[in-house]
Amino acid sequence: MRKYVLTKVVQLLAVSFIISVAVFLLVHLLPGDPTVTILGPDDTPQNKAILLHQLGLDKGLVTQYWTWLDNVFHGNLGRSFTTRQSVTNALSVAVPIDVELIVVSQVMALVVAIPLALLAARRPNRYLDRIATTTSFGLLALPVFVISTIGTLILAVKLHALPATGFTRLSQSFGDNLRSVLLPSIALALGSVAIYYRLLRSDLVGTLQEDFVTMARSKGLSTFYVLTRHALRPSSFSLLAGLGISIGSLFTGAFVVEYIFQLPGIGYQLWSAINARDYLVVQGMALVAAIAYLFINFVIDFLLTTLDPRVRRA
């Protein structure tokens, strides 16, 4: 077990290093002079030289990387060219929004998906299962931007209740905060429900065929007890893996929802930084998001091993 964890940690560090190099090189590898992209083609050579110096681009590549990494470790991810706001500052605004969106939407998704999967797996291929499985297919074919558009269509045009845009902090007003997070969370949750339902259902169907379930049934335990206490845990590994990937990608994948509802999360800020060609912000946020993605998956891997004794021994 200790060796397993150790290997994983070494892997995590190695991949983090590669990610940091890749994100660092983004500005360098891609074609075009960064000063031209930032200042525009018509600026004076003096200004370009100043900018090169400010960016540290006049030094060697390795030196640049170490300076950059050193700054990153000291919490300095650079500053926006347009707003002069530091990237860490922007992140401190963005991260709580994303965390809240992720928590609310994923809790919603799980609350719907788990009972539904339990009910459907109890009698596979019967009506409930068929309906739920077909619906989940439908939901998978609805990208967030389509769900949000149709949602806005219904709310704004049919019910004349415009969806709330903008964000109110939890510390300011609980009700307003909830209102600003509710619709985006539902939009995100719908897709997740379909994924979680399908993952859990197919694993449950498999587990319910196993001998220990028959054994539990023959002891006279109720179906509810068998489903929740015996079958759920060994069936939850794919679900957990899916959850990890979902959460990790939502850190940046909530772009569309944040854009529609004007929530200044990481996705939205990245979007505006990209539009403003604000490369340092893009670089800083990409680094943080990629590391977060990696780290969440590491935690999920770890959880999987503690939940599944077979992996622990392997």
Partner 1 sequence: MPDPSSTSDSGAPGPGDAGASVLVATQVEAERAPPATAATAPARRKLGVLFWICLGWVVAMALLAILASLLPLKNPNFQNYNALNTGPSLHNLLGTDDLGRDLLARIIFGSRVSLSVGFASVALGMLVGGTLGMIAGYRGGITDNLINAGSFVILAFPPFLAILVVEAFWQPTTLLKLIIIFAAVGAPQLFRVVRASTLAATGRDYVVAARALGATHRRIVTREILPNVVPAAISFALIGVALAIVIEGSLAFLGLSIKLPTASLGNIISAGTQNNNLQTNIYPALLPSLYIFLLLSALTLMGDRLRSRFDVKEVSI
Residues of this chain, 186-245, that bind partner 1 according to CB under 8 A = 192, 195, 198-199, 202-203, 205-207, 209, 234-235, 237-238, 240-245
Q: With respect to partner 1, which residue has the nearer C-beta, 91 or 290?
A: 290
Cα–chain center distance at 208: 31
CB of 53 to partner 1, least distance (A): 21
Q: With respect to partner 1, which residue has the nearer C-beta, 36 or 169?
A: 36
Site for partner 1 in 54-83 (CB under 8 A): none
Contact status, residue 100 vs residue 107, Cβ threshold 8 Å:
no
Phi-psi region of 215 (alpha: psi -120 to 50; beta: other; left: phi over 0): alpha
297 contributes a contact to partner 1 by CB under 8 A? yes
CB of 20 to partner 1, least distance (A): 11
Both tokens of 247, joined, read: 């959460």
Q: Is 208 helix (H, G, I), strand (E, B) or coil?
A: coil
Question: Would you call 288 exposed, middle or buried from its count of C-beta atoms within 10 A (0-12, 13-18, 19+)?
Answer: buried
User: What does 138-199 look like in DSSP terms, one character per residue?
Assistant: HHHTS-HHHHHHHHHIIIIIIS--PPP-S---TTT-HHHHHHHHHHHHHHHHHHHHHHHHHH
Task: Report the distance separating Cα 158 and Cα 266, nearest Å.
Answer: 31
Of all helices (H) and strands (E), which one includes residue 102?
A: helix 87-122
Q: With respect to partner 1, which residue has the nearer C-beta, 48 or 277?
A: 277
Q: With respect to partner 1, which residue has the nearer C-beta, 46 or 127?
A: 127
Q: With respect to partner 1, which residue has the nearer C-beta, 131 or 169?
A: 131
Q: With respect to partner 1, which residue has the nearer C-beta, 75 or 206?
A: 206
Interface with partner 1 (CB under 8 A), residue from 39, 57, 69, 124 = 124
Both tokens of 301, joined, read: 């891997």
Site string for partner 1, 28-47 (x = CB under 8 A): --xxx----x----------
Site for partner 1 in 262-291 (CB under 8 A): 270-271, 274-275, 279, 282, 286, 289-290
15 contributes a contact to partner 1 by CB under 8 A? yes
Q: Which DSSP symbol is given to 230?
A: I
Site for partner 1 in 127-186 (CB under 8 A): 137-138, 140-146, 149-150, 152-153, 156-157
Handedness of CA 158, 177, 93, 265 (dihedral sign): negative
306 contributes a contact to partner 1 by CB under 8 A? no
CB of 293 to partner 1, least distance (A): 4
CB of 169 to partner 1, least distance (A): 25
What is the longest distance spanned by two Cα atoms in the chain? Answer: 84
| Size of residue set near partner 1 by CB under 8 A | 79
Task: Report the distance separating Cα 100 and Cα 127, nearest Å.
Answer: 36
Q: With respect to partner 1, which residue has the nearer C-beta, 89 or 238?
A: 238
